[in-house]
Amino acid sequence: MKSKHTVAVLTVFMLSVVAISGISDVSAIEFTPNELNAGPYVDRIVYKVIESEAERVLALYAGEIEMDTSNLNPIYMGGLGYPPEEIDYVSVLRNGYGHISINCRDYPLNISAFRRAFAFAFDKTAVTVDIMDGFLQEHDSLVPYPNGWCVEDEFSFHYYIDQTAIGAQILVDAGFTIDGGTGFLLAPNGDPFDIVIEYAASSPEIAGGTAQIGVDALRRLGVNAETLAADYNEFISRLDSHGDYDMVFYEMDFYSNDVDWLAYEYWSEYADVEYQNPTNFVNTTYDSWRNQLLYGTTYEEVFEASAEMQKILHYNVPRLVVYENTYIYAYRNDQFTGHVEDLANGISGPWTMRKIQKKDFTFGGTVPVAISQEPDSFNIFTAESPSSKAILNNLYSSLFNYGPDLKPIPDLAESMTVETHADNLNVPEGHTRFTIDIIQDAMWSDEIDLTAEDVVFSIIYAIESADYGNPAGSDIVDDLAAAYAPSLYTAVIEFNTESYWHFNDFAYDYIIPKHIFNDDTGIGFDNWDTWNPVFDPAEPHITYGPYILTDYEAGEFYELTYNPRFYYASREFIFGFDAPWISPPSDITYELGSTGNEIVWTVFDYQPNSYSIQMNGIEIETGQLGVKITHNIDGLEIGNYTFTLNATDNWGLSSKDSVLVMVVEPTGTSSSPPQITSLIVLVTSISLVSVVIILASAISIYRNKRTHGEG
């Protein structure tokens, strides 16, 4: 448990992040972990693959699923003869958009005039009226409108309506001509060409309809064009690998309100780097603003760079945003409560999975959730599909999480200091040093302790595997000066620059187990992309999160089970207080004279007080109640013994657990004594101090922080 003095210190720490690491707006709200982090409260989450949206809606109304990870098409609101009180709806302006990615590498799409002409001819209002029935707004900037960095309203012109005449004149001025024989446009070099706009076959109404509006715009310009229904995962893979395509429609969502991703997503040097810059955009003027965006230390510097980069992208159109819609999410309300509206994930994101519980506030229950496609991978470095990411968000942890409002919430981090040379003369000039203390009772799913060594190794792995193509460390590799663990639960991460964004360079990245991924006996740096957990049972999948993946049938369902070892795991509910919850160890048998025998109890309670241990009814030990109570039982004579733990909290509520210990004659072998396994490692949510919630300022370019959708 932390004192209030510690709370004050941490507040200073987090305000340091505001000054150094890109937090542009401070929200002086005290965060209490047990209000949001505590959980889960249900036994299982079962993700069911239901590809058809109509079938997902029917399943929702029939009670076969509780919610859908996809947003609801407005045409399905109401109706179907079911009582409306069983279904609730929430809506929010999306932190993302539907767009058409354009291959800026291949002729004549590499001519910015052609892309701009297409943008002028595209009728976004037709999408609004014909496809989305008014549940959206026209938008141009590649930064979503809800993002505070967006300069949509500063653009001097827009592509909102059909302006084919302007587009046609741009093409004439750029040297495009009409073939008198075919009637189609010729490139400036006189060659004929055609354009194919691909879309996900699983979304014929929205994706297919939007792609057709794009084809109509091209045909009005005289371009030979057509749509093509394609497999979503296949064309995303092509974009990631810089393969062949003309234009592709799909959706993109963002997990934060940051814009440092502008430095990578359209950077010229990444035009041929796998998993980066899928539009193959190259523009030296755009690149000239990159350093100011990444290494500016003031809000004004960063805003200027991001604004200019948005304007360059708006003019050159490597991607055409075709709508920014209001997302509508539907969920049942007859069995469960505790749903959390999430700006990045709607109503079915990781916070809902953490907080959802039965309406009678008793523990347990299974929550079926629909996903629209089979997960493409459970490799955190290669997973692309929204279905994969929806599941992975419940399996892994990071130092900080994006909260429902996209502000940072401590996860594995317990406290943090941020220092430059001005704060600490031991920090070299120009450097930024983060010192993070992590929670001390986290445990991997194979029951190995999670320590600061894992935190440091996760950063090292991202950098070392970058030599083999892993993009995970791309925004940290050039600026990282050091990463080390001076103690078991303290990590130091130091950068050789001062930047508005350094906090975001590491804070939200998944932590991975060093003993599984190391380059000596583990997966290794060069196998980052061939690691195929879940789908290849021979591959290790050791996680630490609120749930563990326990069962699946490919293309059918994916079952996640409550992880009792999760640090915030709770059996305490909103109303009332429970007695301390004790994880019962197994009974123990050991041979006379052997050593290393101990009983380990783990205890969960919000207000722990004291404990006592009795042996055969006689008190032998007392102390302050903590998460882990360990009692050595070496040196006993042959016989049976009952050890009982009594745990009491500050409300006077108590619980007890007994363990039978049997000491037997030696067998004459040198076998090791049985080991005691701690079944559950939990900690009180109150053990994390309150922190000031601060406005996060970046989204990473990595696939675990950005979601693509079909449409």
For the stretch 304-363, pLDDT in tens is 999 999 999 999 999 999 999 888 899 999 999 999 988 888 899 999 999 999 998 888
Is residue 662 within 8 A of residue 640, CB to CB? The reply is: yes
Asked if residue 81 belongs to a domain, the reply is no
- Residue 709, helix vs strand vs coil: strand
Cα–Cα distance for residue pair 569/575, rounded to 1 Å: 17
pLDDT of residue 78: 61
156 with 292, same domain? Answer: yes
- Which residue, among 681, 202, 179, 145, has the nearest Cα to 445 in the 3D structure? 681
pLDDT of residue 14: 36
Q: Is the pLDDT of residue 9 over 50?
A: no
Q: Identify the top-confidence range among 23-37, 518-532, 625-639.
A: 518-532
Instruction: Please compute Rg for the chain using Cα positions.
Output: 28
Asked if residue 167 belongs to a domain, the reply is yes
587 with 562, same domain? Answer: no
Is residue 508 within 8 A of residue 700, CB to CB? The reply is: yes
Cα–Cα distance for residue pair 259/270, rounded to 1 Å: 17
181 with 50, same domain? Answer: no
Residue 433 sits in a domain whose CATH number is: 3.90.76.10
591 with 666, same domain? Answer: yes
Q: pLDDT tens digit string along 667-680?
A: 864 443 333 232 22
Q: What are phi and psi of 67, to 5 degrees?
A: -165, 175
pLDDT of residue 658: 92
Cα–Cα distance for residue pair 384/185, rounded to 1 Å: 36
Q: Is the pLDDT of residue 166 over 80?
A: yes
Cα–Cα distance for residue pair 393/413, rounded to 1 Å: 17
DSSP 58: H
Mean pLDDT of 632-642: 95
Under the banding of pLDDT at 50, 70 and 90, the label for residue 578 is low
Calculate the alpha carbon distances from 643 to 334, 603, 646 in Å: 44, 16, 10
Q: Are strands 67-68 and 366-371 parallel, antiparallel or unpaired?
A: parallel
pLDDT of residue 17: 40
Query: What is the DSSP secondary-structure string of 9-31?
Result: HHHHHHHHHHHHTT--SEEEEEE
142 with 234, same domain? Answer: yes
Q: What is the mean pLDDT of the chain?
A: 85
CB atoms within 10 A of CB 26: 15
Q: pLDDT tens digit string along 454-465?
A: 999 999 999 999
Cα–Cα distance for residue pair 566/350, rounded to 1 Å: 14
pLDDT of residue 84: 67
Residue that finishes a domain, picked among 326, 343, 378:
326
Range of the domain at 609: 581-679
Asked if residue 711 belongs to a domain, the reply is no
Under the banding of pLDDT at 50, 70 and 90, the label for residue 85 is confident
pLDDT of residue 482: 95
Number of domains in the chain: 3
Cα–Cα distance for residue pair 696/17, rounded to 1 Å: 10
218 with 257, same domain? Answer: yes
Name the E strands within 386-512: 400-402, 408-410, 413-419, 432-438, 480-487, 490-495
Q: pLDDT tens digit string along 175-210?
A: 999 999 999 999 999 999 999 999 999 999 999 999
Calculate the alpha carbon distances from 241 to 228, 237, 282, 371, 711 in Å: 20, 6, 16, 26, 21
Take residue 691 and report the two structure tokens written for it: 């922190």
Is residue 88 within 8 A of residue 336, CB to CB? The reply is: no
- Which residue, among 710, 711, 708, has the nearest Cα to 252 in the 3D structure? 708
Q: Is the pLDDT of residue 28 over 50?
A: no
Mean pLDDT of 272-297: 94
Asked if residue 576 belongs to a domain, the reply is no
286 with 403, same domain? Answer: no
Cα–Cα distance for residue pair 455/537, rounded to 1 Å: 26
With 0.85 as the threshold, say if the pTM is over it: no
pLDDT of residue 706: 53
Q: Is the pLDDT of residue 693 over 60?
A: no
63 with 201, same domain? Answer: no
Asked if residue 346 belongs to a domain, the reply is no
Q: Residue 286: in which H helix or E strand, if any?
A: helix 284-288
CB atoms within 10 A of CB 30: 12
399 with 447, same domain? Answer: yes
% the chain with pLDDT above 90: 65
Residue 310 sits in a domain whose CATH number is: 3.10.105.10
Asked if residue 396 belongs to a domain, the reply is yes
Is residue 98 within 8 A of residue 135, CB to CB? The reply is: no
Query: What is the DSSP secondary-structure string of 146-160?
Result: TSTT--GGG-SS---
Mean pLDDT of 203-231: 97
Cα–Cα distance for residue pair 387/70, rounded to 1 Å: 9
Asked if residue 332 belongs to a domain, the reply is no
Take residue 200 and report the two structure tokens written for it: 């996900």
Among the residue ranges 354-368, 517-531, 559-573, 594-608, the one predicted with the least confidence is 559-573
Of residues 574 and 503, which shows the higher confidence score?
Answer: 503
Mean pLDDT of 437-455: 92
359 with 503, same domain? Answer: yes
Q: Is the pLDDT of residue 396 over 90?
A: yes
Take residue 531 and report the two structure tokens written for it: 């690691």
521 with 379, same domain? Answer: yes
pLDDT of residue 668: 64
Q: Is the pLDDT of residue 651 over 90?
A: no
Of residues 672 and 171, which shows the higher confidence score?
Answer: 171
Give the type of residue at 64. Answer: E
Cα–Cα distance for residue pair 82/75, rounded to 1 Å: 15
Under the banding of pLDDT at 50, 70 and 90, the label for residue 682 is very low
Asked if residue 83 belongs to a domain, the reply is no
Query: What is the DSSP secondary-structure string of 533-568?
Result: TTTSTTS-----SSEEEEEEETTTEEEEEE-TTSTT
316 with 362, same domain? Answer: no
Cα–Cα distance for residue pair 575/8, rounded to 1 Å: 29
